[in-house]
């Protein structure tokens, strides 16, 4: 498994699936390495469909839009980065299926950010605004679960079909 700054290449199109808990640094990492048009953010798509990137009730609609965008970009053989926690095998399977359908290799970028760092970052994020159910701060129990799923995924990513697995942090 490659480590840290990923040895990214411009050798051709690629689906890059970010995997990590809330607060792991996925969005920051992607923004430093890719053009905004290449990054498909689940939070950003929640904002598109619900005017609130934190609205968890909008997740199903945002995921449907994410899959549509990923398929459209891959059909054009464009490098596409999926910025979401992606900690569940079934979420990754749908993305890998799209990559295979369009004959584009997929890389998993796994964020090994320490749990305490992720939790601390949540403490500095805004809580829900008045009248809203959700804020940017993710509950500790959710972050702990996401972090564990990220660690658990390391054992299966190659078998799932990722051409490359890279660990950051």
> How does pLDDT run across 57-87, given as a tens digit for each residue?
888 999 999 999 999 999 999 999 999 999 9
State residue 1's pLDDT score.
Answer: 41
Distance separating alpha carbons of residues 36 and 149, to the nearest angstrom: 27
Query: Quick one: pLDDT at residue 136?
Result: 59
**140 — pLDDT class (breaks 50, 70, 90):** confident
**The CATH number, out of the four listed (3.40.50.300, 3.50.50.60, 3.40.640.10, 3.10.350.10), of the domain defined by the range 2-168:** 3.40.50.300
Residues 6+ apart with CB under 8 A from 23: 113, 117, 118, 119, 120, 121, 122, 125, 138, 143
Taking 70 as the threshold, does the pLDDT of residue 7 lie above it?
no
Domain boundaries along the sequence of the chain: 2-168
User: What are the pLDDT digits (tens) for 97-134?
Assistant: 999 999 999 999 999 999 999 988 877 755 655 565 55
Residue 8 has pLDDT above 70, yes or no: no
Condensed to tens digits (0 to 9), the pLDDT of residues 28-65 reads 999 999 999 999 999 999 989 988 776 778 889 999 99
């Amino acid at each position: 498994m490659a480590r840290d700054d990923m040895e990214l290449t411009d050798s051709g199109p690629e689906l890059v699936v970010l995997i990590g808990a809330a607060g792991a640094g996925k969005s920051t990492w992607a923004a430093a390495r890719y053009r905004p048009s290449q990054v498909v953010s689940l939070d950003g798509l929640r904002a598109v469909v619900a005017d609130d990137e934190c609205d968890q009730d909008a997740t199903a609609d945002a995921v449907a839009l994410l899959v549509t965008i990923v398929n459209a970009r891959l059909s054009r053989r464009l490098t596409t980065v999926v910025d979401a926690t992606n900690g569940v095998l079934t979420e990754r399977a749908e993305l890998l299926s799209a990559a295979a359908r369009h004959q584009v290799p997929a890389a998993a970028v796994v964020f090994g950010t320490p749990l305490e760092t992720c939790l601390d970052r949540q403490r500095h994020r805004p809580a829900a605004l008045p009248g809203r159910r959700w804020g940017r701060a993710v509950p500790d129990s959710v972050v702990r679960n996401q972090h564990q799923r990220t660690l658990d995924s390391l054992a299966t990513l190659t078998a799932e079909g990722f051409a490359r697995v890279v660990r950051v942090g």
